[in-house]
């Protein structure tokens, strides 16, 4: 038990567990629109004023003001210390808790640097998404992707809803735009946006001349991309590789967007690829989701059933 727990581990743990599961296994929750509710476990009441937001991974009680994330809930509900609550969550997530000595200032500085880098990586992914969307509107060769999308029957509004963008031709567009420091360059590489050609000792953009689909996590943060070619190049579809923030086996493309489209998700329809998800949305069927180049797994279904009763 001795030693402090590195912040990046805690962040990762909070991403692996879902506060809805954490609370629901202790206090039965009812789905109410986008959120879940129950009678508050922290004060006496007859009508539910305790609310859990899956988007924010946060709970709040309008009656007594109790609030917090999964860790805070376990601490309050089970009267555990912070490290004990982490241990309890880690057990559910099936991961080992690393310990570090707090009195080592070097280690502490290292942890803080890791946490900062992770935040910067999320920010860079968002900036890449902004960049691709801007190219779809303003690049001199934008007609090729725009015509492709139009031919597939997509409106500008749907493209916007899904954040569809365009990675223009060229080997270093993203590098020039976003890799403005060594740290950013390293993070873009780690985040799968760049490829390192070790023979030539040269970095280049992973996504070139493709229609870009941002992949979002349950909180709406961009964690990866799917790109579709506009010519005969192979592969037709290219996904981000697995990265410290992108785990293919547990992400469903379009699930975040589907949850945004309905107060209560009526069902989830698993289709083959991003274009299918977006094309269905164009025809008013906003509950399509796609796995990302992997078979639909038990974990995918578990995630889908978290938000709806019909898959």
**Interface ranges with Zn ion (CB under 5 A):** 40, 42-43, 61, 63-64, 66
Nearer to Zn ion, 67 or 88 (CB): 67
Report DSSP state, residue 96. Answer: P
What SS3 class is residue 289? strand
Nearer to Zn ion, 38 or 292 (CB): 38
Beta-carbon neighbour count of residue 77 at 10 Å? Answer: 16
Contacts of 249 (CB under 8 A, 6+ apart): 294, 297, 299, 300
Nearer to Zn ion, 61 or 188 (CB): 61
Task: Judge whether 122 and 219 are in contact, CB under 8 Å.
Answer: no
Minimum CB–partner distance for residue 140 and Zn ion (Å): 57
For residue 246, what are the β-bridge partners?
243
Nearer to Zn ion, 43 or 152 (CB): 43
Task: Judge whether 186 and 223 are in contact, CB under 8 Å.
Answer: no
For residue 36, what are the β-bridge partners?
31, 52
The dihedrals phi and psi of 117, each to the nearest 5 degrees, come to -65, -40
Minimum CB–partner distance for residue 76 and Zn ion (Å): 10
For residue 271, what are the β-bridge partners?
290
Nearer to Zn ion, 76 or 100 (CB): 76
Nearer to Zn ion, 3 or 48 (CB): 48
Task: Judge whether 145 and 166 are in contact, CB under 8 Å.
Answer: yes
Minimum CB–partner distance for residue 91 and Zn ion (Å): 27
Minimum CB–partner distance for residue 94 and Zn ion (Å): 31
Listed residue (286, 281, 276) closest to 307, CA to CA: 286
Minimum CB–partner distance for residue 20 and Zn ion (Å): 18
Contacts of 21 (CB under 8 A, 6+ apart): 92, 306
Task: Report helix, strand and coil shares of the chain as percent, to nearest 5.
Answer: 40, 20, 40
Minimum CB–partner distance for residue 59 and Zn ion (Å): 10
Minimum CB–partner distance for residue 17 and Zn ion (Å): 22
Nearer to Zn ion, 77 or 82 (CB): 77
């Amino acid at each position: 038990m001795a030693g402090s727990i590195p912040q990046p581990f805690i962040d990762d743990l909070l991403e692996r567990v879902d506060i809805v599961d954490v609370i629901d296994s202790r206090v039965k929750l009812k789905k109410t629109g986008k959120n879940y509710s129950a009678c508050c476990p922290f004060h006496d009441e007859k009508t539910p004023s305790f609310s859990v937001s899956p988007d924010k991974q946060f709970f709040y009680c309008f009656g007594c003001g109790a609030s917090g994330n999964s860790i805070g809930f376990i601490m309050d509900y089970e009267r555990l210390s912070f490290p004990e609550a982490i241990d309890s969550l880690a057990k559910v997530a099936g991961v080992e808790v690393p310990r570090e000595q707090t009195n080592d200032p070097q280690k502490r500085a290292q942890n803080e640097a890791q946490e900062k880098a992770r935040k910067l990586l999320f920010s860079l992914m968002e900036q890449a998404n902004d960049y691709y969307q801007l190219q779809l509107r303003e690049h001199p060769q934008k007609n090729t992707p725009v015509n492709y999308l139009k031919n597939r029957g997509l409106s500008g509004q749907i493209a916007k809803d899904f954040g569809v963008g365009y990675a223009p031709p060229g080997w270093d567009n993203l590098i020039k735009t976003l890799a403005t420091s060594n740290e950013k360059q390293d993070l873009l590489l780690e985040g799968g946006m760049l490829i390192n050609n070790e023979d030539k000792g040269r970095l280049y953009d992973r996504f070139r001349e493709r229609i870009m689909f941002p992949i979002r996590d349950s909180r709406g943060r961009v964690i990866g991309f799917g790109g579709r070619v506009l010519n005969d190049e192979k592969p037709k579809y290219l996904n981000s590789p697995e990265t410290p923030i992108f785990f293919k086996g547990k992400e469903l493309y379009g699930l975040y967007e589907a949850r945004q489209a309905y107060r209560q998700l009526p069902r989830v329809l698993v289709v083959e690829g991003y274009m299918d998800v977006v094309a269905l949305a164009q025809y008013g069927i906003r509950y399509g989701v796609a796995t990302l180049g992997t078979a639909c797994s038990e974990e995918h279904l578990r995630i889908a059933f978290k938000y709806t009763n019909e898959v």
